Chain A
Amino acid sequence: MATDLFYKTIAELGCLLETKAISSAELTQAVIARTKAVDGKIKAFNSFDEADALAQAGASDRRRAAGDARGILDGIPIGLKDVISAAGQPLTASSRMLANFVSPYDATVTARLKGAGAVIWGRLNCDEFAMGSSTENSAFGPTANPWDFSRVPGGSSGGSSAALAAGEAIATLGSDTGGSIRQPAALCGVLGLKPTYGLVSRYGLIAFASSLDQIGPLTRTAEDAAIMLGAIAGHDPLDSTSFKTDLPDYRAEATTRRGPWRLGIPKEYFGAGLDPEVNAAVEQAIAFYRGHGCEIKEVSLPHTQYCLDTYYIIATAEASSNLARYDGIRYGHRSKDATDALDIYFKSRAEGFGAEVKRRIILGTYVLSSGYYDAFYLRAQKVRTLIRQDFLNAYKEVDALLTPTSPMPAFKIGEKSDPLALYLCDIYTIGVNLAGLPALSVPCGFTGGGLPIGLQLIGRPFDEANLLAMAHTYEQAHGWSRRCPVL
């Protein structure tokens, strides 16, 4: 149970730090020791800089001693998915292409966390360039699910979810292009929030699909997610797609709003392919909300069946262009065998990228190529409009949607070798990215085999406060979020 420091929440640790019951140095030491003890089995980290983390913790303690503590995050160790830049630290995207790359600048989220006093801790494994749903596509090897080492932690932010579930960080950041925060959160039994597109700056996030990517927190509780969101959200002049909007006090809203809410159950999300145990857990969660006084209503998102195709066209097209910069010229892997400048491209990219990245670059290049643009990319953008409309129509009747996060619990490493089968893991999460909506996954039970199950709540644009309040309300009545794997 959660008696160890490294299994506590930000909210709890914030109190302990504030009352000086513990120091950030102690907490950071505890997290480092835990990481050293368990990461040989989990392999959540691509790298960590112990001395740097302890220096940050020391600085936090000195601030606090001087009465200059910056708030609840001051001194809390936060892990970053290895696609989020931190100045002077490696940034690999779990790719051989960037194996030796050191970033000279902070992502906006990193700068904001540092500004809040957080201890930036470690670079977390993921699918290469965030392309995948299992963290098996990492050039540095797969990450294991802390609940069952033979299973995947989900992906692409699998290192972020596994590290958190294993007590190797107090909270982490992930990125979500088609479910990459929510699905690993579900598979590892933690909470993962994908914010509304434009709420959190993408500056310093290695781009996969620019119009879909969004950074978000993985935490133990909704309250922690609210704290993290409060720190990283808000307009950034360095990201042209970032929104100027007034932000609520997410933590206060999440912990005080009680609903009841009008909740929609999209019928298309409960069809064939949904694991019965997952279905049962989600049904129970629905029952809970009904019992809480929420109006539950079946709704329809008629274009759901087109989400996957739309997503794979848009995401791969954007990715093929975003990943063109990895060419071995200015930085990154350069092939030793290249004889001329053109050769550097072909060979460096062949050697630097893994199979899934190559597949997606090929697909994305193809759908944009001469003669195919209208049939694929342009058509997908139009279908995207219809998909978004589906959600906005549903919100005329309900405040949020309730669905499973993943059609199945964590599967075995190596089990899904066919790309298409793996792409189907994202069917409940990708519509949200296409529509630019906020959504979170909150633990809602376990399978008979002891694997976590996630409930997905999908909200109106910029309605994170209500989603977090819904999740908080649920957590208050259930113990799922307090369960820890035995390691």
Chain B
Amino acid sequence: MSTAPDLDIEHVAKLARLALTAEEKATFSAQLGDVLHHIEQLAKVDVTGVEPTAHAFPLVNVWAEDVARSGLSAEAALRNAPVQRDHMVVVPKVVE
């Protein structure tokens, strides 16, 4: 196993909003290091002039007409909410 030199797992875990234990950080760094080393071979492919593929079968202008339909009731919308009050989702106070 090897550690990817560039993988700052603390930073990436922060971006991903994942609290990792020290053990997880060590294990993931090593495992992902292996994966990233494997991935390095992609650098060998000559991609000059190659268009990226975002969708296997490109379509354009897929839309719907602006006709509103009814949605969920507040009760249904919040059915799975961990904490709710006054038909709203409750979170600890958000400070910017």
Contact = CB atoms under 8 A, between A and B. Distances in A.
Q: Do chains A and B touch in the complex (CB under 8 A)?
A: yes
B7 A379 contact: no
B44 to A, nearest CB: 9
Q: How large is the interface on A (under 10, 10 to 19, 20 to 34, 35 or more residues)?
A: 35 or more
4 nearest CB pairs, A to B: A436-B56, A381-B52, A331-B80, A345-B17
A418 B7 contact: no
A286 B64 CA distance: 47
B7, B34, B76, B80 pick with most chain A CB within 10 angstroms: B80
A363 B80 contact: no
B89 A419 contact: no
A187 B2 CA distance: 32
9 contacts: A104-B72, A310-B42, A331-B81, A334-B82, A344-B91, A349-B16, A366-B32, A382-B45, A420-B31
Name the prevailing secondary structure of the A interface residues.
helix
Contacts of B18: 346, 349-350, 353, 358, 361-362
B21 to A, nearest CB: 8
A327 interface: yes
B84 to A, nearest CB: 10
A282 interface: no
A385 B12 contact: no
Contacts, number: 168
Interface stretch (A125-133, A148-156, A235-243): A235-243
B32 A385 contact: no
A370 B75 CA distance: 40
A312 B35 contact: yes
Contact of A388 (B31, B38, B53): B53
B68 interface: no
Interface of B: 6-7, 9, 11-13, 15-20, 24, 28, 31-32, 34-36, 38-39, 41-43, 45, 47, 50-57, 59, 62-64, 72, 76, 79-83, 89, 91-95
Nearest to B76: A104
B32 A359 contact: yes
Interface string A382-394: 1111101000000
Nearest to A357: B18
A320 B42 contact: no
Contacts of B79: 102, 104
Interface of A: 100-102, 104, 196-198, 211, 237, 240-241, 243, 303, 305-306, 308-310, 312-313, 320, 324, 327-334, 338-347, 349-350, 353, 355, 358-359, 361-363, 365-366, 369, 372, 375-376, 378-386, 388, 418-420, 423, 434-437, 461
Contacts of B93: 340-341
Contacts of A102: 79-80
A359 B4 CA distance: 14
A386 B15 CA distance: 31
A460 to B, nearest CB: 12
B22 to A, nearest CB: 13
Contacts of A340: 92-93, 95
Contacts of A363: 32, 35-36
Given A346-B17, A355-B24, A308 B38 contact: yes
A306 B45 contact: yes
Given A104-B79, A362-B18, A366-B32, 14 more contacts: A211-B54, A241-B55, A338-B92, A345-B17, A346-B18, A347-B19, A349-B16, A359-B32, A361-B18, A362-B28, A385-B51, A385-B53, A388-B53, A434-B56
B81 to A, nearest CB: 6
A101 B81 CA distance: 9
Nearest to A316: B35
